[in-house]
């Protein structure tokens, strides 16, 4: 959510930003919210005047009564009563218009960074850099679930009977590999100075609307029936929510946290959830990283965050590339975003395994996450998030890139301590 004062003073900048995000249907909202804000401020000014008059008149009544001027006091009381009726009407209008303004402001997209490429959708995202040499072996690489099944490592049929499509049972060495990757990612981030956290896996609606747009919320979140609680789609939601309604001394920034959680997603509108695949699923686990920092530091932290993911994948011998998300592929709250994609030897292309986002002060403004500056002035923090690793999708890249012709899978040295010293996974 952008600053209303900024929108009021720079309506054409906001409109151009909307055009750059190819959301022209939202253009009328800028003028509409300016008109609403103008009316709101008029109501508030009149209300403030009446509230000030009420205090003055109340003192005047006391003085007149003390002087025995009862008739004059009664006249003033009548004026207070008349003002009270108008004030009640104005306060109702203030609340009504404030709610209308908030609703519109929650749908107007954040101002994107000038460096973001302009494009309609993810097909126009721009490759930034490749890390590691993508290779295709001279033997056929099976589909990822076939690799897992060769180790008795996945049971999709049972999961389908228990929960439906988009769920899975991981078994044996594959399940152990899944946990090993999560544990390694946890320690990797701790070694980079991040504080480890296990957050709540459910959050209230005010946190949900604070961390994401309404469109994202509708497409992703599972609501707990009968309660004001939602299952988290990523631990970023819960981790940023940790700072709701807080004022942090500037000298305590940045807050750098890495969190583990299960994640639950409807995947509404996502076509082709593969019955035998684990690429797009309703439940998975993830290691996340978030940063709460001063505005002037957010660009530096953005570059550090995506680099962490690149370094983690390269330490496991997986080639990756970074992809700059274009304007039309950015969620409304995001200022800038970079996807990390891993190489798939089977498909002979890269696919997304993580996403790094700078949200500026949008989440902080919605959740009232403020910083107390050294000069005593308060301002909104900047928030950032990035995927460290999210198996089982990451397992697809891992298995394909470490598969041997005999069907065994190499375990990179960094993972061996988490796999009981195993150097390979072999068929039983």
Indicate the pTM of the whole model.
0.89
DSSP code, position 212? S
Q: What is the residue-wise DSSP string for 377-409?
A: -EEEPEEEEEEEE-TTHHHHHHHHHTB-TTS-E
Mean pLDDT of the chain: 92
Instruction: Quick: pLDDT tens for 163-175.
Output: 998 899 999 999 9
CA 100/CA 98 separation, integer angstroms:
5
Instruction: Quick: pLDDT tens for 191-240.
Output: 999 999 999 999 999 999 999 887 788 888 999 999 999 999 999 999 99
Q: Which of these, 426, 390, 398, lies nearest to 182 by C-alpha position?
A: 390
Q: Which of these, 200, 294, 285, 201, lies nearest to 256 by C-alpha position?
A: 294
The CATH architecture that domain 4-105 belongs to is Orthogonal Bundle (1.10)
Query: Average of pLDDT values for 130-157?
Result: 95
Query: Average of pLDDT values for 326-346?
Result: 96
Sheet holding 230-231, edge to edge: 202-203, 230-231, 222-223
- The yes-or-no answer to whether 4-105 and 122-425 have a common fold is no
Domain ranges of the chain: 4-105, 122-425
CA 153/CA 150 separation, integer angstroms:
7
CA 143/CA 14 separation, integer angstroms:
46
Question: Would you say 341 and 356 are in contact if contact means Cβ atoms under 8 Å apart?
Answer: no
Better-scored residue on pLDDT, 227 or 271: 227
Q: Is the pLDDT of residue 368 over 50?
A: yes
What is the predicted pLDDT for the residue at 268? 62
Q: Is the pLDDT of residue 26 over 80?
A: yes
Q: Phi-psi category of 218—alpha, beta or left, where left has phi over 0 and alpha has psi -120 to 50? A: alpha
What is the predicted pLDDT for the residue at 273? 45
**Which phi and psi angles does 203 have, rounded to 5°?**
-140, 155
Query: Average of pLDDT values for 14-33?
Result: 97
Q: Is the pLDDT of residue 155 over 80?
A: yes
71 pLDDT band, cuts 50/70/90, is confident
Q: Which of these, 280, 314, 304, lies nearest to 134 by C-alpha position?
A: 314
83 pLDDT band, cuts 50/70/90, is confident
CA 300/CA 416 separation, integer angstroms:
33
3-state SS class at 343: strand
Tokens 């109340």 appear where? 58
What is the predicted pLDDT for the residue at 379? 97
What is the predicted pLDDT for the residue at 277? 79
- For the domain 122-425, what is the CATH code? 3.30.930.10
CA 353/CA 134 separation, integer angstroms:
16
Q: Which of these, 425, 207, 385, lies nearest to 286 by C-alpha position?
A: 385
Q: Is the pLDDT of residue 56 over 80?
A: no
Q: Report the range of poorest mean pLDDT among 16-30, 246-260, 266-280, 320-334.
A: 266-280
Query: Average of pLDDT values for 96-107?
Result: 94
What is the predicted pLDDT for the residue at 220? 86
What is the predicted pLDDT for the residue at 276? 59
What is the predicted pLDDT for the residue at 428? 75
Better-scored residue on pLDDT, 72 or 385: 385
Q: Is the pLDDT of residue 378 over 80?
A: yes
**Residue 128 tokens, joined:** 């930034």
- Using alpha carbons only, what angle is made at residue 266 by residues 340 and 109, rounded to the nearest 5 degrees? 60
What is the predicted pLDDT for the residue at 205? 93
Q: Is the pLDDT of residue 106 over 50?
A: yes
427 pLDDT band, cuts 50/70/90, is confident
Positive or negative, the Cα torsion across 4, 6, 11, 12? Answer: negative
Question: Would you say 383 and 301 are in contact if contact means Cβ atoms under 8 Å apart?
Answer: no
CA 250/CA 374 separation, integer angstroms:
7
Q: Report the range of poorest mean pLDDT among 31-45, 75-89, 240-254, 386-400.
A: 75-89
Q: Is the pLDDT of residue 271 over 70?
A: no
Looking at the DSSP assignment, which residues form a beta bridge with residue 289?
A: 258, 386
Question: Would you say 386 and 355 are in contact if contact means Cβ atoms under 8 Å apart?
Answer: yes
274 pLDDT band, cuts 50/70/90, is very low
CA 198/CA 238 separation, integer angstroms:
10
Q: Is the link from the previous residue into 184 a cis peptide, with omega within 30 of 0?
A: no
Looking at the DSSP assignment, which residues form a beta bridge with residue 372?
A: 249, 378
Q: Is the pLDDT of residue 275 over 70?
A: no
Better-scored residue on pLDDT, 73 or 133: 133
DSSP code, position 153? -
C-beta neighbour count of 408 within 10 angstroms: 16
70 pLDDT band, cuts 50/70/90, is confident
DSSP code, position 221? P
Sort strands 222-223 and 154-155 into parallel, antiparallel or unpaired: unpaired
């Amino acid at each position: 959510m952008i600053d209303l004062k900024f929108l009021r003073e720079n309506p054409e900048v906001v409109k151009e930003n909307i055009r750059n995000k190819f959301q022209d249907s939202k253009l009328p909202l800028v003028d509409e919210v300016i008109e609403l804000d103008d009316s709101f401020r008029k109501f508030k000014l009149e209300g403030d005047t009446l509230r000030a008059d009420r205090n003055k008149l109340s003192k005047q009544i006391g003085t007149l009564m003390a002087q025995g001027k009862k008739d004059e006091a009664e006249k003033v009381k009548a004026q207070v009563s008349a003002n009270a009726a108008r004030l009640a009407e104005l306060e109702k209008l203030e609340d009504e218009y404030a709610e209308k303004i908030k609703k519109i402001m929650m749908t107007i997209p954040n101002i994107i960074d000038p460096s973001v490429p302009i494009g309609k959708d993810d097909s126009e995202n721009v490759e930034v850099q490749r890390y590691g040499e993508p290779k295709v072996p001279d033997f056929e690489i099976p589909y990822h679930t076939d690799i897992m099944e060769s180790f008795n490592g996945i049971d999709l049929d049972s999961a389908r009977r228990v929960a439906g499509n988009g769920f899975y049972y991981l078994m044996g060495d594959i399940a152990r590999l899944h946990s090993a990757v999560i544990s390694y990612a946890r320690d990797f981030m701790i070694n980079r100075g991040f504080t480890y956290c296990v957050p709540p896996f459910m959050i209230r609606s005010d946190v949900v609307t604070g961390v994401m747009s309404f469109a994202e919320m509708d497409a992703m979140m599972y609501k707990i029936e009968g309660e004001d609680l939602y299952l988290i789609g990523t631990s970023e939601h819960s981790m940023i929510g940790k700072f709701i309604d807080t004022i942090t001394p500037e000298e305590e920034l940045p807050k750098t946290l890495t969190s583990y959680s299960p994640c639950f997603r409807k995947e509404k509108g996502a076509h082709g959830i593969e019955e035998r695949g684990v690429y797009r699923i309703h439940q998975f686990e993830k290691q996340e990283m978030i940063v709460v920092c001063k505005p002037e530091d957010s660009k530096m932290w953005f570059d550090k965050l995506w680099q962490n993911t690149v370094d983690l994948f390269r330490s496991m011998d997986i080639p990756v590339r970074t992809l700059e998300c274009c304007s039309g592929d950015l969620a409304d709250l995001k200022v800038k975003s970079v996807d990390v994609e891993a190489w798939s030897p089977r498909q002979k292309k890269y696919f997304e395994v993580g996403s790094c986002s700078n949200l500026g002060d949008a989440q902080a403004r919605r959740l009232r996450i403020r910083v107390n500056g050294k000069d005593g002035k308060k301002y909104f923090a900047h928030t950032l998030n990035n995927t460290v690793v999210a198996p089982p999708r990451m397992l697809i890249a891992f298995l394909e890139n470490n598969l041997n012709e005999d069907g065994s899978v190499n375990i990179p040295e960094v993972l061996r301590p988490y796999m009981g010293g195993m150097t390979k996974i072999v068929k039983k």
